[in-house]
Amino acid sequence: MKFLKVIIAVAAIACTASVAQAQVVKKAAVTAAKKAQSQVSTRQQSFYEVPEPSDADLQWMKIVYREIDLTKGKNAALYYPEEPNEDGESLFYIIMRHVANGDISVYEWLDGREMFTDTYKYKISNMLDRFHILYAHAKGSTEKAPKYVIENADIPGSEVLSYYIIEKWEFDTRSNKMRSRVDAICPVLHREDEFGVVQKWPMFWV
């Protein structure tokens, strides 16, 4: 019996030591994970906090106009779903939601000579009227800060089959790297004219 008690005591001590060791290991692992997460966050923050380069920093720059065809399979993610659902919404619905809320400004399409200044800002109601998009004034809307309510059924998402984009390629002397960024994007409606021919109607730049 005495021998059995000794075995139980030794087993209890071993178990306690094992638990303590496991706790130490777990605590060390948690500390290491937090430290790694902190370091990653710091690196990410330092990456995103780099200010935009000035004209003096840009040794070379090229502006490229592109068209994104949403009928191509690789671009389908920008088109679907045709109407918002529990799985999400298309890029055009996202743009229109922010435009209607007054979160972003839109600029006139000027066919290759775009000017993103206050002079060429598009009045939202004029744009909606031009493309026959029904709307109502939202609660809290004012003349200086208009907001609109647009029903999903009245947003012509299925007709936006392409986008024009303005892309800038720049060589930054600070980092000695070439980089590209999208400077503006324009939804393009594909609608039939009175002769049944599908025409492209660029809507606005954002």
* Confidence at 3, pLDDT banded by 50, 70, 90: very low
> What predicted TM-score, i.e. pTM, was given to this entire model?
0.69
Please tell me whether residues 66 and 33 are part of one structural domain: no
* DSSP H helices in the chain: 2-48, 91-100, 124-130
Please tell me whether residues 108 and 157 are part of one structural domain: yes
Tokens for 163, please give them.
């986008």
For residue range 58-81, what is the model confidence (pLDDT) as tens digits?
667 788 999 999 999 999 999 999
Please tell me whether residues 95 and 139 are part of one structural domain: yes
For residue range 153-164, what is the model confidence (pLDDT) as tens digits?
999 999 999 999
Q: Tell which of 49, 73, 89 closes a domain.
A: 49
Please tell me whether residues 19 and 69 are part of one structural domain: no
Please tell me whether residues 25 and 97 are part of one structural domain: no
**Boundaries of domain holding 164:** 58-202
148: nearest Cα among 188, 89, 106, 201: 106
Tokens for 174, please give them.
């600070």
Determine whether 99 is exposed, middle or buried from the number of CB atoms within 10 Å of its CB (0-12, 13-18, 19+): buried
191 forms beta bridges with 199
Please tell me whether residues 192 and 166 are part of one structural domain: yes
183: nearest Cα among 61, 80, 57, 73: 61
Please tell me whether residues 67 and 31 are part of one structural domain: no
